[in-house]
Structure 1
Amino acid sequence: MKDSKSKGPGGRELTVRVKTARGRTASSTRWLERQLNDPYVARSKREGYRSRAAYKLIEIDDKHHILAPGMKVVDLGAAPGGWSQVAIERVGSTDLNKLVVAIDYLEMDELPGVILFQRNFLDEDAPALLQEAIGGRADVVLSDMAAPTTGHQQTDHLRTTYLCEVAADFALDVLKPGGSFLSKVFRGGAESSLLTTLKQNFATVHHLKPPASRAGSVELFILAKGFKGKRQDAAPEDEESGDDEAAWRP
């Protein structure tokens, strides 16, 4: 159970503390307490987003302008649909003109304006299925994919880095010139080989940690903008790249 009071004198919000209960582990109690006290969770419920993750994309797009009306978007690892909701709003996708294609092996409720596949993106035929659904080339590839965590930081980093790498390979094959790729990575960022590939093929590459990403979370995001077309030559030394601090400096 949780403490019943949520506001103090003058309507000031109080921290909600969760009491331990039989059958609930300490870690699940901490997770529940964090959820109850998370302003982004409360905001997502008020504003109708399916997850607090929607605000990570909102904050990134507000600053870096990767989504615009009429763009075609592929959303990898889409469930429960927060990023797809943001994409729908910002590109103007409708059931009459579906501009967003989403995929996840988890079940996800349908969204107006989204072509949705409940499939594993790692299936051999999944990339071709997505490209056919988007009708050629995409303007933006989004990936919020992350492997289930094991609690071993190095293992979790490697598994999620692999998902970022396959998402990047897909982006290189499907993006239009000038397109953008945004993907989740874990603390430590993208591997050097992936960074090199992205710098070869995009005008700018940054690691980001938007404000909606919890301070204690190991997640980062890598944003590559200005797709130049798939290239294999060495990355020029003067191409722009940056870390999360530089990317969020005013």
Structure 2
Amino acid sequence: MSEKNSKILTERRGHLLVVTINRPEARNSMDKATALEMNAAMDLLDEDDNLYIGIVTGAQGNFSTGADLKALARGERPITEDRGGFGVFRRPPRKPLIAAVEGYALGGGLELCLSCDLIVASRAARMGLTEVRHSVCATGGGLFRLPRRIPYHIAMEVALSGEPREASFYHQHGLVNRLVEPGCALQEAMVLAERLMESAPLALAASKEIIWRSRDWNEEEAWAGQQPIALRAFESEDRREGLAAFAEKRKAVWKGR
């Protein structure tokens, strides 16, 4: 695990990378330095062939309360040139990313969840786009990603009210994948990750990319656009291993290549 004084902790657990926002004294809000470290953690996930899936969580009972308002008052914005806000908003990793949410996920904290592909949340978690209450707009992707994930009128109410809601509300409307007891979000996210990693890592990454890009494709573009992405999995060593494992009735041993 990285140094304890780091604002972002990274821990390898086999082929899984656990990324922890480590600013509990500020409810894991994000300043510039934290965003830069998050950017580096996302680069690590993308670039290391031995890492298949990432989990993002927060230290000591909160996910993230968004941007650090004290840092903003100093004129400091938690944005990186490469991946954008919080070091992930504009360009999330190409590999699957799971949010494990305890406590508050507010403002940019919810937008961080929306930058992930799956969300596991504690029943005690409270989530919301609170920016309008501070005369700010949620420009970290929340205002266009949220209505793609939940019904339009529900997303509009979340954005315009600025009201934090329990995770069960978001689970009811399909944003949260798994709802768990307090203190169990990371554990359940790891269980989910292990289940996903039974499948081939290149196929996981390619499937995510096709789903992600297909939002901007029409039907004809989708048929053509998916092919070069899917070929990365079809032409891999893991594809041959998957066929051999099926024929031999054994569990496949993936290599990520």
Decide which structure has greater helix share: 2
Of structures 1 and 2, the one scoring higher in RCO (CA 8 A, sep 6+) is: 2
TM-score normalized by the length of structure 1? 0.28
